[in-house]
Structure formats: structure tokens, C-alpha cells
């Protein structure tokens, strides 16, 4: 396709999709695997688990979710500011959608990347951002009010 590396994931409803991975992510995965005594991705059997627990078992989605929650709890309370958002593993999906949209990615490409079947689901992720983007104030021209506003 466009080169690079893709990870085949199994999502809700046993749907498979290919997720592209950036080089930095691949380096991080290899560092994790090395710390667990596993072969690097280039040497590993593609049918073996990508991530394993310290006992050598494959991570399950619930185990990974609990692990991420524990790691988030170790962070300082104010690291995310006073947003009032409870950071959970699922928030990363929302962040992916928002960062993609800020970078002018087409909404349908975001939908496909997240594995959503309906654009409505993706729009739930982006609703607040769209409301902010389409505020009337963003259409004001600076020359209308000069230095006063």
C-alpha cells in the first residue's frame, strides 16, 4: 500500500482491520518485547502474541485495559489539567479522532480508521470539536473590529 507497517487487529464483532503503525510505535513495541524476553517483530512468528504478560500469556483486551488504567493512576493528578475528563483507555480512541480531525483528515477516513460502520458513531467522537470549529466567531474578520476585539 503506502509502505510502512500494519498491525492486523480484531475488533468488535470479530471484524479484522489493518492498522498502520508509525516507526516510533514499532520501536516502542520492540522495546517492550525485548523487556519481556521476546523476539523483535522482524524475527517473531506473526501468529504469536504481540504483547505478553510477565508470565508469557497473551494480553487480553480486559487485561490491557486494566494495565493502562493502573499506569494512568500512577501519573500526577494535574498532568491533564483541569479538563474534568476521566482518562480511560477508550479516551485514546477519542483523542485519535480529534487529533486526526485537527490535522484535516477526512471524517470518513477517521471513521474507517476507528473501524466504525456508521459515520454517526464517529460524529459522536467529534461533536464538541465540530461545534467549536463552526462557532460564528471564527468567521469574524479581524479588519471589522480592528484592535478592539
pLDDT in tens, 52-92: 888 888 888 788 888 888 888 888 777 766 666 777 778 88
The answer to the question of residue 68 being in a domain is no
Answer yes or no: are the C-beta atoms of 40 and 143 closer than 8 Å: no
- Give Cβ neighbours of residue 134 (< 8 Å, ≥ 6 apart): none
Q: Is residue 10 part of a domain?
A: yes
Grid cell digits, residue 49: 502474541
Contact 72, 47 (CB under 8 A): no
Q: What is the pLDDT of residue 13?
A: 79
What confidence score (pLDDT) does residue 61 get? Answer: 79
The domain total for the chain is 1
Separation CA 68–CA 73 (nearest Å)? 9
pLDDT 10s digits, 18-36: 888 888 989 999 998 999 8
- Residue 22 forms part of a structural domain: yes
Neighbours of 146 (CB within 10 A): 7
* Residue 118 within any structural domain of the chain: no
Asked whether residue 30 is assigned to any structural domain, the reply reads: yes
Residue at 137 is within a domain: no
Would you state the cell numbers that stand for residue 99, as one nine-digit string? 487529533
How far apart are alpha carbons 128 and 59 in whole angstroms?
Answer: 33
Q: What residues make up the domain containing 39?
A: 1-59
Helix (H), strand (E), coil (C) string for 48-112: CCCCECCCCCECCHHHHHHHHHHHHHCCCCCCCCCCCCCCCCCHHHHHHHHHHHHCCCCHHHHHH
Report the pLDDT value the prediction gives residue 148, as an integer from 0 to 100.
61
Q: Is residue 143 part of a domain?
A: no
pTM (2 d.p.)? 0.68
Cell representation of residue 32 = 517492550
Residue 77 lies in a domain: no
Pull the grid cell for residue 111.
471513521
Residue 118, phi then psi, degrees to nearest 5 = -120, 140
pLDDT in tens, 93-140: 888 999 999 899 999 999 999 989 899 999 988 888 777 777 777 777
Amino acid at each position: 500500500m503506502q509502505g510502512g507497517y500494519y498491525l492486523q487487529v480484531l475488533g468488535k464483532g470479530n471484524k479484522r482491520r489493518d492498522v498502520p503503525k508509525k516507526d516510533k510505535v514499532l520501536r516502542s513495541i520492540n522495546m517492550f518485547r525485548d523487556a519481556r524476553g521476546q523476539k523483535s517483530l522482524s524475527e517473531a512468528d506473526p501468529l504469536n502474541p504481540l504483547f505478553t504478560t510477565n508470565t508469557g500469556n497473551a494480553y487480553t483486551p480486559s487485561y490491557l485495559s486494566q494495565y493502562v488504567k493502573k499506569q494512568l493512576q500512577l501519573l500526577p493528578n494535574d498532568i491533564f489539567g483541569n479538563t474534568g475528563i476521566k482518562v480511560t483507555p477508550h479516551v485514546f480512541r477519542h483523542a485519535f479522532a480529534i487529533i486526526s480531525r485537527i490535522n484535516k483528515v477526512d471524517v470518513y477516513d477517521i471513521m474507517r480508521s476507528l473501524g466504525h460502520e456508521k459515520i454517526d458513531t464517529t460524529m459522536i467522537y467529534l461533536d464538541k470539536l465540530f461545534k467549536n470549529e463552526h462557532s460564528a466567531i471564527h468567521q469574524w474578520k479581524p479588519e471589522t473590529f480592528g484592535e478592539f476585539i
